[in-house]
Structure 1
Amino acid sequence: MRDTAEFYDTIPKASDFDALAGDGSYRPMPDDWVLGVADIVGSTQHIVEGRYKIVNMIGAAVIASQVNAADGRALPYMFGGDGAGFAVWPDQADTARRELAAVQAWAKREFDIDLRAAMIPVSHIRNAGHDLRVARYKPSQNIDYAMFSGGGLSWAEAELKAGTIALDPALQDAVPNLDGLSCRWNHIRARHGTILSLVTEPAPGALPEDVATAIHKIVAIADSLDRGGHPMPPDGPGVSWPPPGLGIEAHAAHGTTPLWRTRLSLLIHSLMAWFFLRSGVKAGDFDPAHYRNMVVQNADFRKFDDGLKMTLDCDPDTQKRIEQVLQDAEKKGILRYGLFTQDEAMMTCFVPSMADDSHVHFVDGAAGGYAQATLKIKGGESYLRR
């Protein structure tokens, strides 16, 4: 059997987001790779209780633990707001399984939140009649994000929620490696109208070319927005002290160290970061203006995850145009969709090192975002909160 560990490294990195609407940029994932999926149980209730920042943090923790476990090796992953997906090569599967189970235990121990999780070979996905293909989107010179198509990831997530696949639990005191995970930025207020969370998926039986055509129209409309609808201002989000997510970050960072001691350490370090980011004063090789610029460039505010997902700063007229395309596509049996509006976006970050520009930033709506938009699809209806 040929070694497939290098598969993801061989995929070209595309800089044209719109081109990823079609299948031409996607490569079939090898059968011997293993897909991991995770989803928070009862995320809707957590949103009602104002815990969506914690929900986002747990979703991002799944990714951070896997990237850290891969020890610098690139792997495909997808942030979904209230969950995440990723894939690993065969020799990494056992390590990935342990880390995923450790995140489950951590989420329950630190936040009393249940995280469903499972890992399933890609060959099993194909045996069930689905495919798993992946592409790489490069929003800046320094990072890239995986894009998924073929329906395999969505199918695995549905099987996870149905309880047909599940991970063996880890010991209750298992500690995942979440180094670099943080959520220190302020929420980002809409500047042009509203923060629009958009989720689409192909309708059953829809032709791929029809789906691609509809997605091209939506992306073109979004591109007409200021900076393509990027929810962050050009100089990055605001900062305050103490940062709004410091308590959540302490739960991610303390490991076996007492929580109060980690919180105190983070207070001190975040005060220093606040000073440099607010003042713009350079500290050695750290340039606050450059870092802010890279945060904006590296933000994951649009993606393909068996369908289009976007978090947009959107004006009312453009919102109506997007909705019209979606309604037409739904009537024709091409797309299913969900929309959700809110006043702010928020960001959860994974910063392995401050010494380079490879930090990644997951953007979502602050009032439920992707989870709320997806809920409208699950309920068999399209919804726009006005």
Structure 2
Amino acid sequence: MLNKIIHVLENYRIHIKRKIELVLRVGEIPVSNLIESEVQLKIAKHRLTDKLSIPIVLGDGLKVAESMIKSSFKEEETTAFDETLLNLEGMECRWDQILPDQQQTKVVCLLLDASLEKDQRNVYKKVLAQMDEEFGKFENRQPIKSNNLKLDPNPTKVWEEMKIRLTSTSWMYFFKSWLKTNFGRIYLNLTSSGKQYLSQIEQLSHTFMLDGMINTVFTAEQKSIDRFIAYLDKMERDKKLIYGIHVTHASVMSCYVLDRRTTHSHFVDGTEGGYTSAAKMFKIKKEGPI
């Protein structure tokens, strides 16, 4: 089974390299190797919303495995691509930029890593408590609100989606998807099932991840952001953590939709670089003195 999974992922890697010149590194590290190296990997399940449960990971296991895969990865020739293995059905990127509820509110992308593996639980507990104090509970700082969701009818959106999803251009797919997007605006606003789908998106949006480090997107007022950054700077000076942050005006969302009634997931980032901009800041700090 593992070999089949790796083979499919390798196929996706080749497809993405051909389409957008992005190199995805694929590999696998047995958990037993991490245990032998005395690296922790603790996994729990957390109910983030009424409809979404996520894994919570403590320990440096995933980070160490990622580093090992990246360092040992060698890009091979792209001649072994198998089109029959490519299945991106359900991948959609048709939403307009999502503005926060209030005009003064910003969207924040945060990456944060505890300096010591043994301190992760306490450091993350303190940071999340500070976020609750500054920005309100999780549901209050969610960037995805159903009343702010609007489909973007721009044909460029559909074209970019098609470029990734298919191996070659299909005008039938393009026009069909473009028409669906335009009629979708009516469906979402005027039908009960459409309104239900919008409300579920809010519940099924991935805006928080803890995989050994914190990755989160949230909304906040600038004055609260400034106080929070001052708090993080103090923790950073005390060698408790390293963080990268990016503040922007809106969020963006890509989706994986198999069934609009129950089976759909939504992945959120910030505009103007989002997590990528936060990661650049984080990497500079990680590689140099604080």
Settle same-fold status: TM greater than 0.5.
yes
Classify 1:131/1:265 alpha carbon distance in 2 versus 1 (closer, same or farther; 3 Å): same
Is 1:357 matched up with 2:267?
A: no
Is 1:164 matched up with 2:72?
A: yes
String of CA shifts for 1:6-30, please: whole Å, max 9, x gaps.
xxxxxxxxxxxxxxxxxxxxxxxxx
What letter corresponds to residue 246 of structure 1 in structure 2?
V
Contact residue 119 and residue 167 of structure 1 kept, 8 A: no
Contact residue 41 and residue 58 of structure 2 kept, 8 A: yes
Classify 1:121/1:226 alpha carbon distance in 2 versus 1 (closer, same or farther; 3 Å): closer
Is 1:154 matched up with 2:59?
A: no
Partner in structure 1 of residue 244 of structure 2: 338
TM-score where L is the length of structure 1: 0.66
TM-score where L is the length of structure 2: 0.86
Give 1:215 deviation, angstroms. 2.4
Give 1:136 deviation, angstroms. 2.3
RMSD: 2.6
Is 1:281 matched up with 2:191?
A: yes
What letter corresponds to residue 181 of structure 1 in structure 2?
M
Partner in structure 1 of residue 145 of structure 2: 233
String of CA shifts for 1:168-187, please: whole Å, max 9, x gaps.
66623544211111111111
2:154 aligned to 237, 242, 249, which one?
242
Is 1:140 matched up with 2:45?
A: no
Structure 1 unaligned spans of 5+: 1-91
**Secondary structure class of the residue paired with 1:99:** helix
Identical-residue share of aligned pairs (%)? 19
Aligned pairs, how many? 283
2:95 aligned to 162, 168, 185, which one?
185
Give 1:261 deviation, angstroms. 2.8
What letter corresponds to residue 233 of structure 2 in structure 1?
Q
Give 1:158 deviation, angstroms. 2.4
Classify 1:321/1:241 alpha carbon distance in 2 versus 1 (closer, same or farther; 3 Å): same
Partner in structure 2 of residue 261 of structure 1: 172
Moved more, 324-333 or 222-231: 222-231
Contact residue 250 and residue 262 of structure 1 kept, 8 A: yes
Classify 1:313/1:135 alpha carbon distance in 2 versus 1 (closer, same or farther; 3 Å): same
**Secondary structure class of the residue paired with 2:27:** strand
Contact residue 117 and residue 166 of structure 1 kept, 8 A: no
Classify 1:139/1:227 alpha carbon distance in 2 versus 1 (closer, same or farther; 3 Å): closer
* Aligned-partner Cα distance in 2 for 1:293–1:259: 32
* Aligned-partner Cα distance in 1 for 2:16–2:276: 18
Partner in structure 1 of residue 18 of structure 2: 109
Classify 1:244/1:214 alpha carbon distance in 2 versus 1 (closer, same or farther; 3 Å): farther
Give 1:262 deviation, angstroms. 2.0
* Aligned-partner Cα distance in 2 for 1:352–1:98: 23
Partner in structure 1 of residue 273 of structure 2: 368
Q: Which has the higher contact order (CA 8 A, sep 6+)?
A: 2
Contact residue 111 and residue 244 of structure 2 kept, 8 A: yes
Give 1:318 deviation, angstroms. 1.2
Give 1:363 deviation, angstroms. 0.6
What letter corresponds to residue 17 of structure 2 in structure 1?
K
* Aligned-partner Cα distance in 2 for 1:96–1:252: 20
Give 1:345 deviation, angstroms. 0.8
Structure 2 unaligned spans of 5+: none
What letter corresponds to residue 375 of structure 1 in structure 2?
K
Give 1:348 deviation, angstroms. 0.9
Contact residue 186 and residue 243 of structure 1 kept, 8 A: no
* Aligned-partner Cα distance in 1 for 2:52–2:127: 24
Give 1:300 deviation, angstroms. 0.8
* Aligned-partner Cα distance in 1 for 2:250–2:232: 23
Is 1:216 matched up with 2:128?
A: yes
1:121-132 pair list within 5 angstroms = 121-132=30-41
Classify 1:96/1:327 alpha carbon distance in 2 versus 1 (closer, same or farther; 3 Å): same
Is 1:377 matched up with 2:286?
A: no
* Aligned-partner Cα distance in 2 for 1:136–1:306: 14
